[in-house]
């Protein structure tokens, strides 16, 4: 049995507002030897880092910063190579006895880059201690800022990413009280007739939240019948929510 060395911590830093970072996350950020930052491009600024910058300024000693590049690509072989390469880099730091805090938007285990690196660390470097600190998700943050409850009583919530085939969405919508589309809203207009055929009504409540809890936040709330007239700006950091009006709610 291999001796456990170092620690790798996935830290959820929330949807954007620094005040939504958990107390536990702050403790780790103030004590970790290394702050690891995921980036889509080497020269692109990190939103996750901007969220925690004030916490890091409070430290007595500045941490080491480890930038890991995870480019947006569909090349599976290239992705596999990068996951392995980045896991090797993290393991190398951990084997020096260091604690590496990997900061990620929202929650580490919910549509996060951390998930893939976490799997590689478990598979190839089990000797490194693993810890995961949950964070406020964009899903729940968007429900809060739009003031729309995601689920009540026995309601079913389905969470999908934008780009899922309409046939699949149609089938899922038949069984859900609320639908949430992550990462973009450009598909919503074309989905209106699909949702209506699957049981959602023109009076179903719809919200599009862009850049939730950030200074650029934009919240649009209305009915499904309104969507056709909306000017929807495509933004990766957008979430669409559709909540069905149940018979009980209509009373």
Q: Which of helix, strand or coil describes residue 109?
A: coil
pLDDT given for residue 20 in this prediction: 97
Q: Which of these ranges, 17-31, 124-138, 158-172, has the smallest mean pLDDT? A: 158-172
Which pTM does this prediction carry?
Answer: 0.90
Give 66's contacts (C-beta < 8 A, 6+ positions apart). 34, 35, 36, 37, 89, 90, 93, 100
Q: Which CATH architecture has domain 138-250?
A: 2-Layer Sandwich (3.30)
Q: Which residue has the higher pLDDT, 235 or 26?
A: 26
Q: Which residue has the higher pLDDT, 247 or 232?
A: 232
pLDDT given for residue 250 in this prediction: 39
Choices 3.30.1490.20, 3.40.50.720, 1.10.540.10, 3.40.1010.10: CATH for 7-133: 3.40.1010.10
Cα-flanking dihedrals φ and ψ of residue 4, to 5°?
Answer: -75, 130
Percent of the chain with pLDDT strictly greater than 90? 80
Cα-flanking dihedrals φ and ψ of residue 241, to 5°?
Answer: -125, 135
CA 48 to chain centre: 11
How large is the average pLDDT for residues 234-248? 80
pLDDT given for residue 24 in this prediction: 98
Give 198's contacts (C-beta < 8 A, 6+ positions apart). 169, 170, 171, 173, 174
pLDDT given for residue 59 in this prediction: 95
CA 92 to chain centre: 27
Residue 249: pLDDT over 60: no
How large is the average pLDDT for residues 174-199? 92
pLDDT in tens, 146-167: 999 999 999 999 999 877 999 9
What is the rounded CA–CA span in Å between residue 233 and residue 248?
34
Query: What DSSP line would sit under 29-79, residue for residue?
Result: HHH-SEEEEEESSTTSPPHHHHHHHHHHHT-SSPPEEEEEE------HHHH
How large is the average pLDDT for residues 218-223? 96
pLDDT given for residue 4 in this prediction: 65
- Note whether 152 and 30 are within 8 A (CB): no
pLDDT given for residue 248 in this prediction: 47
What is the rounded CA–CA span in Å between residue 96 and residue 7?
10
Delimit the domains of the chain by residue range.
7-133, 138-250
Residue 183: pLDDT over 90: no
pLDDT in tens, 63-118: 999 999 887 778 888 888 999 999 999 999 999 999 999 999 999 999 999 999 99
Mean pLDDT in the chain?
A: 92
């Amino acid at each position: 049995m291999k001796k456990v060395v170092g620690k790798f911590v996935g830290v959820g830093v929330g949807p954007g507002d620094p005040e939504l970072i958990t107390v536990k996350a702050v403790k780790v950020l103030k004590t970790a030897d290394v702050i690891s930052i995921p980036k889509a491009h080497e020269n692109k600024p990190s939103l996750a880092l901007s969220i925690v910058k004030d916490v890091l300024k409070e430290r007595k000693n500045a941490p080491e910063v480890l930038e890991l590049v995870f480019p947006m690509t569909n090349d599976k072989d290239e992705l596999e190579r990068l996951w392995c390469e980045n896991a090797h880099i993290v393991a190398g730091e951990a084997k020096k006895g260091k604690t590496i805090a990997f900061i990620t938007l929202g929650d580490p285990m919910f549509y996060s880059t951390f998930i893939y690196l976490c799997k590689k660390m478990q598979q190839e470097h089990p000797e490194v201690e693993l810890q995961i600190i949950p964070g406020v998700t964009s899903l729940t943050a968007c429900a809060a800022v739009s003031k729309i409850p995601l689920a009540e009583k026995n309601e079913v919530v389905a969470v999908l990413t934008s780009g899922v085939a309409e046939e699949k969405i149609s089938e899922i919508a038949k069984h859900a009280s609320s639908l949430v589309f992550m990462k973009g809203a450009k598909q919503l207009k074309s989905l209106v007739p699909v949702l209506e055929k699957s049981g959602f009504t023109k009076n179903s409540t719809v919200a599009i939240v862009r850049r939730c809890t950030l200074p650029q936040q934009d919240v649009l709330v209305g009915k499904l019948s309104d969507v056709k007239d909306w000017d929807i700006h495509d933004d990766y950091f957008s979430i669409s929510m559709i909540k069905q009006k149940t018979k009980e709610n209509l009373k």
